[in-house]
Amino acid sequence: MGTRLTPEQQQQVAAQRGESRPTRRATVPALEEILFEPLAVLDHGFIRVIDYMGDDGAIVQAARVSYGRGTKKTSEDRGLINYLMRHRHTTPFEMCEIKYHVKLPIFVARQWIRHRTANVNEYSARYSILDNEFYLPAPEHMAAQATTNRQGRGEPLSGAAAASVLDLLRKEAERAYHSYAELLNEDMEGSPRDPTRPGLARELARMNLSLNFYTEWYWKTDLHNLLHFLELRADPHAQYEIRAYAEVMLGTLERWVPMTYAAFLDYRKNAALISAKGLAVIRRLIAGEKVEQADSGLSPREWRELMALLAKPEAR
Amino acid sequence: MGTRLTPEQQQQVAAQRGESRPTRRATVPALEEILFEPLAVLDHGFIRVIDYMGDDGAIVQAARVSYGRGTKKTSEDRGLINYLMRHRHTTPFEMCEIKYHVKLPIFVARQWIRHRTANVNEYSARYSILDNEFYLPAPEHMAAQATTNRQGRGEPLSGAAAASVLDLLRKEAERAYHSYAELLNEDMEGSPRDPTRPGLARELARMNLSLNFYTEWYWKTDLHNLLHFLELRADPHAQYEIRAYAEVMLGTLERWVPMTYAAFLDYRKNAALISAKGLAVIRRLIAGEKVEQADSGLSPREWRELMALLAKPEAR
Amino acid sequence: MGTRLTPEQQQQVAAQRGESRPTRRATVPALEEILFEPLAVLDHGFIRVIDYMGDDGAIVQAARVSYGRGTKKTSEDRGLINYLMRHRHTTPFEMCEIKYHVKLPIFVARQWIRHRTANVNEYSARYSILDNEFYLPAPEHMAAQATTNRQGRGEPLSGAAAASVLDLLRKEAERAYHSYAELLNEDMEGSPRDPTRPGLARELARMNLSLNFYTEWYWKTDLHNLLHFLELRADPHAQYEIRAYAEVMLGTLERWVPMTYAAFLDYRKNAALISAKGLAVIRRLIAGEKVEQADSGLSPREWRELMALLAKPEAR
Amino acid sequence: MGTRLTPEQQQQVAAQRGESRPTRRATVPALEEILFEPLAVLDHGFIRVIDYMGDDGAIVQAARVSYGRGTKKTSEDRGLINYLMRHRHTTPFEMCEIKYHVKLPIFVARQWIRHRTANVNEYSARYSILDNEFYLPAPEHMAAQATTNRQGRGEPLSGAAAASVLDLLRKEAERAYHSYAELLNEDMEGSPRDPTRPGLARELARMNLSLNFYTEWYWKTDLHNLLHFLELRADPHAQYEIRAYAEVMLGTLERWVPMTYAAFLDYRKNAALISAKGLAVIRRLIAGEKVEQADSGLSPREWRELMALLAKPEAR
């Protein structure tokens, strides 16, 4: 993973990982283990856990407004966390907080930022110069427009078609960066590369970069809002590129708050919201009645979705 | 209803209701009809719709980022609203806004204010003097502590017990207000009632009032957050007193955005979130298998809740 | 202005502008006048006011939690609004709401979206195909990197340099769009342009577009948060391109809530926050003392900023 | 301080304070020192710091989106923090988080909760029984209504008047609790005290308690929002009782992030926002001109406030 960082960055990460200090706060050894390490996502991106506050016990503590650590027996804590998740008592989950450093393509950042209840500090292309790093989809993720769904991908492109798309995307990104550098007319020290002409202000030059260039940010959120993010973004309906990040974050969630993670899978991620009309259909089916879409009260699309849900034996 | 207002207040409301101006904005005649009118809640409270922005069409317009009114055919609009509600595409619902004037007991206000994504201006007991109005439950709402549930009410009290509770609550509230007035030592014009002694600052004297005294506020929220409020507060698990407000608000919702209201009932209020384990049980039941709690993977409580849900034929 | 819209869009706007309905709500004729009309910003962008809730009177009404319109005499209303603004009593300003339709370059949208307390629905390039419209700075806004400030622009480029930059930006954007279209391989009806090869999914093809392409959104905010947005974005430190939008919005603010607008100019936009050390310097200067940076307690930069502020006689 | 806790609570706090674990995260020894300890506020209240995330260095790290700890030299870090505070670059301050456990009178909680950008878990009087603890002002804080200001306190009451107020408040609170207990009709184990009659549900009985009874909550916020809270609540215009909490929190701020604390005092807490008209007056005064209210453009009240500000040599 470290290969995604420059040697200097690797050194900085290693320095932080080498430090250890005593604290009276709750700690989570499984999360400490990966602290600061870049977890690879896509071709040049990463997720790094930078800091965290609280653990499963902190949720219990807040729910009980207790004076001590809040935990009684593990089984009682688990029961309480399940109860809170099931009944959407969300405020105790807000008592935990996590901070990530993320490197991600701009078009992914544009989807991500729509989650407003988080704190963000992004690398500024007004102040600084962006690196020459852009996202190119792996061939297996290059797909045609879905035909059944106006949003989303259909079949993967054939090898030749994918190669041709890839080639075009790469050439265009390289050209965009080349022109960006020419517009800036700055070397690494900020001196003009070509002293016979002025450079363009950074805040303007960046407009020539395309949406697959990478940006970086610090992103901090509470656990409740993280779960909401993951429910939407680790979902098959989410665009693959943001889902790739959400799935790595799911792994950090499991390390951090394992009881909450398990409850989240059962009561949120793999649960289903069934409409009043859908419940009526289910009741009839259980009673052994034969139900058809036409007399179900459901639209054809809702009917298909419900039938798919009731058919699937595997975890979604 | 008007009897909940002083004659002066009634006059002010009537004056506003009597005005009419032309606008190019979307209007909703069914909501205009009740604008400014106090809708009675509990013994002295009310809800008044003061202003609104948008209608069902505004949701469609925002979802399509369109240049015109956004509506095509009614059936298409309804289909889109159903789709948005079903798939939790919440941002178009944020494009509508409503403002209420609410008179409510302080202990209800304390629950209500936990919904943070709203705008609030409350009558200030630092500046002004509260009226001598307090909530007393109707006999049928006076109930013993629930025994099956640490939160909530059980059986209603018998007539005699209810009368005795009522009597105690009334006497205590009257005494609290009497002492509040004595501490203030102010008449209606702010002059001392007893000029031989000073009054206590309003911000201090109010601490003597009990939590059933009425306060008032202007409360403004977008439609998405209103639906969230109603989902939680028009629910049988909510305390009766806040539910009484939520139910009156449901009526204003139906007038304002009837398509959204219908979708909300089907996909949210009367829908159910079924856990992954619950779905597995349902699949087995539909397949005709006999399932018992012990081999269901559900806790006894979850099992009871699921069985109750699958049994009930009536609207919840 | 209408020339920024297609004929069909112009027709939709005209249709809405031609409608008029009666309402009991507060209306603002000066704002109604421009409702739905595109106000031009940059080369292809615009701001359209789509809807609003409340007026200056609604602020007064909420501050007083009153039953009537809330206004007494104009002078009293003005005094109260000034008082609220001066003492940062912000909640009454949250009682007004406005909704805009905005067309803006993606790099401007990226700055704008950082204001989290607003509601947004953006045109989706996952579902739909973006138009071939991109921002090119006017020559007078093409500037070199500032040398005194790592963020921002310095001197405008000379005519020849500007022309050369413009030429490069235009060619690159045209090429980016051409390739985008080729990747999509769709005609206006969504049929393949070249039926011998598949198109790339829209959600992927868009990554080839550069940050100066235009996007659109519905953006809705309350008045308090709008003022905060304008304070930051109609400021000389803001990037010119977003400031161009903020300045047009200032004009809509003046039409909508003229008293609030005047108070905002005096107490916020043209006001200055002076640090404790800066106040001490001012006290010494008024006392006729001669103060130098070295004995001021201020850093050289703070000193320069304070001296500039005290020197300027003109409105900032 | 420990005397504000029951022996069992003291033991729980001591147990947590006795624990120490290694962490790779940033730690702040000065804050660790007081972690979990109740800091006394008012007669029965307290503030306890329960957890924290980040330190001054984390602000620097986020502002630079850096890979390492973010700090260079102390003087550079201080300079950057001052710069961020002065120019209201608020997002880096959002990267630190703190969690408090607070015991406070209900009327203080009602003011406090208006700060919406925090996470809260309050002790529930629907589930649990409140303790017999209520706030009584110390004699020096018992004051008459201010005459110059409709909000706030004027002169302290004389000894006799204060004693009489105190006596009334105490008797009323004692009576309210006595009736609350009678309504509940529960002993410590939840069994009826008087088995011949039912108790009233907890969610109803609590309405008899007055606003000076103590409640408790866990309250978590980011540093930016904490500063905003402290700016408003550690201010002379805030009601004394909430200010008492804010002042203790200022002490925890100084321990936690000393550079931010210093910058906050200079650029926020002890700074002043001067209106455009006020700046014009200051410019004339510095130029040696004699200015009077009548020709200042300021209202009499603004004039008084400005003159007071320019006169005062001491820290506010």
Touching C (3+ Cβ pairs <8 A), the chains are: A, B, D
């500007």: which residue's tokens?
A: C162
Average pLDDT for C244-257: 98
The answer to whether residues A179 and A115 belong to one domain is: no
The answer to whether residues D108 and D145 belong to one domain is: no
pLDDT score of C168 more than 80 = yes
pLDDT tens profile B279-312:
999 999 999 999 999 999 999 999 999 999 999 7
The answer to whether residues A169 and A191 belong to one domain is: yes
Cβ within 8 Å, pair C116-A114: no
Q: How would you write chain D as a 3-class SS string?
A: CHHHCCHHHHHHHHHHHHCCEEECCCCCHHHHCCCCCCEEECCCEEEEEEEEECCHHHHHHHHHCCCCCCCCCHHHHHHHHHHHHHCCCCHHHHHCEEEEEEEEEHHHHHHHCCCCCCEEEECCCCCCCCCCCECCCCHHHCEEECCCCCCCEEEECCHHHHHHHHHHHHHHHHHHHHHHHHHHCECCCCCECCCCCCCCCHHHHHHHCECCEEEEEEEEEEHHHHHHHHHHHCCCCCCHHHHHHHHHHHHHHHHHCHHHHHHHHHHHHCCEEECHHHHHHHHHHHCCCCCCHHHCCCCHHHHHHHHHHHHCCCCC
Question: Closest by alpha carbon to A275, among B80, B89, B266, B273?
Answer: B266
- What residues 81-120 of chain D have any CB closer than 8 A to a CB of chain B? 105-107, 109-110, 113-114, 116-117, 120
- Rounded Cα distance between B311 and B6, Å, is 49
Return the bridge partners of D49, or none.
D100
Lowest-confidence pick of A69-73, B190-194, D94-98:
A69-73
More confident residue, D144 or C226: C226
- Rounded Cα distance between C23 and B32, Å, is 7
> Are residues D173 and D83 in contact, defined by beta-carbon separation less than 8 angstroms?
no
Backbone angles phi, psi at C227, to 5 degrees: -60, -40
Q: Examine residue C140 and state whether it is found in any structural domain, yes or no.
A: no
> Are residues C165 and A183 in contact, defined by beta-carbon separation less than 8 angstroms?
yes
User: How many helices (H) and strands (E) would you count in chain B?
Assistant: 12, 9
- Rounded Cα distance between C293 and C291, Å, is 7
Lowest-confidence pick of A25-34, B129-138, C192-201:
C192-201
> Who's near B55: CB < 8 A, 6+ residues apart?
B26, B27, B28, B96, B256, B257
Question: Closest by alpha carbon to B47, among B210, B264, B253?
Answer: B253
Left, alpha or beta for A254 (phi > 0: left; psi -120 to 50: alpha)? alpha
pLDDT tens profile C55-65:
999 999 999 98
If 0-12 CB within 10 Å is exposed, 13-18 middle and 19+ buried, where does residue C258 land? Answer: middle
Q: To the nearest 10°, the Cα dihedral for C289, C290, C294, C295?
A: -10
> Who's near A203: CB < 8 A, 6+ residues apart?
A125, A126, C151, C152, C153, C239
Mean pLDDT across chain A: 93
Total of domains in chain C: 2
> Are residues D105 and D241 in contact, defined by beta-carbon separation less than 8 angstroms?
yes
pLDDT score of A3 more than 80 = no
| Buried b / exposed e along B58-92 (16+ C-beta atoms within 10 A) | bbbbbbbbbbbbbbeeeeebbbbbbbbbbeeebbb
Joined tokens for residue B173? 């509230």
pLDDT score of B70 more than 80 = no
Question: DSSP label at C265?
Answer: I
Report pLDDT for C75: 86
How close C23 comes to chain A (CA, Å)?
34
Chain-centroid distance of CA D27 in Å reads 23
Among A286, A298, A304, A305, the strongest candidate for a mutation testing the B interface, having the largest count of B CBs within 10 A, is A286
- Rounded Cα distance between C40 and C245, Å, is 9
pLDDT score of B315 more than 70 = no
B159 CB neighbours in chain D (<8 A) are none
Report pLDDT for B71: 63
Report pLDDT for C180: 97
> Who's near C101: CB < 8 A, 6+ residues apart?
B65, B67, C46, C47, C48, C50, C216, C217, C218, C219
Confidence of residue C316 (pLDDT cuts 50, 70, 90): very low
Cβ within 8 Å, pair C153-A107: no
Report pLDDT for A74: 83
Confidence of residue A149 (pLDDT cuts 50, 70, 90): low
pLDDT tens profile D171-185:
999 999 999 999 999
The answer to whether residues B30 and B148 belong to one domain is: no
pLDDT score of C20 more than 60 = yes
Backbone angles phi, psi at A125, to 5 degrees: -85, 5
Cβ within 8 Å, pair A220-D13: no
Report pLDDT for D119: 96
Average pLDDT for A234-252: 97
pLDDT tens profile A4-37:
899 999 999 999 999 999 999 999 999 999 999 9
pLDDT score of D59 more than 60 = yes
Report pLDDT for B190: 75
Question: DSSP label at B213?
Answer: B
The answer to whether residues C221 and C300 belong to one domain is: no
What percent of the residues of chain B are helix, what percent strand, and what percent coil, each to the nearest 5? 50, 15, 35
pLDDT tens profile C258-311:
999 999 999 999 999 999 999 999 999 999 999 999 999 999 999 999 999 999
- Rounded Cα distance between C48 and B24, Å, is 14
Determine contact: A61 vs chain D, CB below 8 A: yes
Confidence of residue D313 (pLDDT cuts 50, 70, 90): low
The answer to whether residues A107 and A7 belong to one domain is: yes
- Rounded Cα distance between A119 and A117, Å, is 7
Could you confirm whether B233 is annotated as catalytic?
Answer: yes
> Are residues C55 and C98 in contact, defined by beta-carbon separation less than 8 angstroms?
no
Q: Examine residue B257 and state whether it is found in any structural domain, yes or no.
A: yes
- Rounded Cα distance between B199 and B202, Å, is 9
Return the bridge partners of A215, or none.
A104
Rg (CA), chain B: 24
Return the bridge partners of A103, or none.
A46, A216
> Are residues A3 and A46 in contact, defined by beta-carbon separation less than 8 angstroms?
no
Confidence of residue A145 (pLDDT cuts 50, 70, 90): confident
Report pLDDT for A315: 45
Element (H, E) at B216: strand B214-222
Measured N-to-C along each axis, helices B159-184 and D159-184 cross at an angle, to the nearest 10 degrees, of: 170
If 0-12 CB within 10 Å is exposed, 13-18 middle and 19+ buried, where does residue C149 land? Answer: exposed
Write the CA distances from B184 to B106, B202, D170, integer angstroms.
Answer: 20, 6, 16
Return the bridge partners of C103, or none.
C46, C216
The answer to whether residues D106 and D154 belong to one domain is: no
Joined tokens for residue D165? 């107020």
Confidence of residue C315 (pLDDT cuts 50, 70, 90): very low
Write the CA distances from B168 to B208, D168, D183, D205, integer angstroms.
Answer: 17, 19, 9, 11
How close C94 comes to chain A (CA, Å)?
18
Average pLDDT for B110-135: 94
Average pLDDT for A283-295: 96
pLDDT score of D34 more than 90 = yes
> Are residues C211 and A212 in contact, defined by beta-carbon separation less than 8 angstroms?
no
Confidence of residue A2 (pLDDT cuts 50, 70, 90): very low
Report pLDDT for C127: 87
Cβ within 8 Å, pair A145-C200: yes
C114 CB neighbours in chain A (<8 A) are 113, 120
Domain boundary at B191, B211, B231, which? B211
How close B265 comes to chain C (CA, Å)?
24
The answer to whether residues D218 and D261 belong to one domain is: yes
Report pLDDT for D192: 87
Q: Examine residue D172 and state whether it is found in any structural domain, yes or no.
A: yes
pLDDT tens profile B214-272:
999 999 999 999 999 999 999 999 999 999 999 999 999 999 999 999 999 999 999 99
How close D93 comes to chain A (CA, Å)?
9
Lowest-confidence pick of A43-57, B82-96, B145-159, D237-251:
B145-159
Catalytic residue among A202, A206, A233, A243: A233
The answer to whether residues B101 and B167 belong to one domain is: no
Among B32, B37, B65, the strongest candidate for a mutation testing the C interface, having the largest count of C CBs within 10 A, is B65
Average pLDDT for A195-221: 95
More confident residue, C100 or B147: C100
- Rounded Cα distance between C204 and A152, Å, is 9
Q: Examine residue D316 and state whether it is found in any structural domain, yes or no.
A: no
If 0-12 CB within 10 Å is exposed, 13-18 middle and 19+ buried, where does residue D119 land? Answer: buried
The SS3 assignment for A55 reads: coil
- Rounded Cα distance between C272 and C307, Å, is 13
The answer to whether residues A165 and A302 belong to one domain is: no
Count contacts between B and D (CB, < 8 Å). Answer: 153
The answer to whether residues A82 and A104 belong to one domain is: yes
DSSP B247-299: HHHHHHHHHH-HHHHHHHIIIIIT-EEE-HHHHHHHHHHHTT----GGGTSS-
- Rounded Cα distance between C227 and D206, Å, is 41
Which residue in A has a C-alpha nearest to residue C175's C-alpha?
Answer: A172
Return the bridge partners of B47, or none.
B39, B102
Catalytic residue among B48, B206, B233, B243: B233
pLDDT score of A62 more than 90 = yes
Average pLDDT for A246-269: 98
Q: Examine residue C194 and state whether it is found in any structural domain, yes or no.
A: no
Report pLDDT for A4: 87
Backbone angles phi, psi at B85, to 5 degrees: -65, -45
Mean pLDDT across chain B: 93
Q: Examine residue D153 and state whether it is found in any structural domain, yes or no.
A: yes
* Angle, vertex CA A218, rays to CA C113 and CA A1, nearest 5: 130
pLDDT score of D2 more than 80 = no
Residue D51's domain comprises: 2-134+213-269
Report pLDDT for A316: 42
Nearest to D53 among A5, A21, A97 (CB): A97
Q: Examine residue B316 and state whether it is found in any structural domain, yes or no.
A: no
pLDDT score of D153 more than 80 = yes
Backbone angles phi, psi at A94, to 5 degrees: -75, -10
The answer to whether residues A191 and A63 belong to one domain is: no
Question: DSSP label at B207?
Answer: G
- Rounded Cα distance between B23 and B31, Å, is 15
- Rounded Cα distance between A70 and A56, Å, is 10
CATH assignment of the domain containing A114: 3.30.1360.170
Which residue in B has a C-alpha nearest to residue A299's C-alpha?
Answer: B79
Active site members of D: 233
Domain boundary at D211, D244, D260, which? D211
Measured N-to-C along each axis, helices B300-311 and B276-286 cross at an angle, to the nearest 10 degrees, of: 50
Count contacts between A and C (CB, < 8 Å). Answer: 152
Report pLDDT for C218: 97
Average pLDDT for A106-115: 96
pLDDT score of B197 more than 50 = yes
Cβ within 8 Å, pair B65-C12: no
Q: Examine residue B219 and state whether it is found in any structural domain, yes or no.
A: yes
More confident residue, D129 or C312: D129
pLDDT score of B150 more than 70 = no
Cβ within 8 Å, pair C97-B121: no
Question: Closest by alpha carbon to B282, among A269, A272, A294, A264?
Answer: A272
Touching D (3+ Cβ pairs <8 A), the chains are: A, B, C
- What residues 122-161 of chain D have any CB closer than 8 A to a CB of chain B? 124, 126-127, 135, 137, 142-146, 150-155, 157-158, 161
Q: Residue B26 CB: number of other CB atoms within 10 A?
A: 23
Determine contact: A199 vs chain C, CB below 8 A: yes
Report pLDDT for B87: 93
Among A85, A86, A265, the strongest candidate for a mutation testing the B interface, having the largest count of B CBs within 10 A, is A86
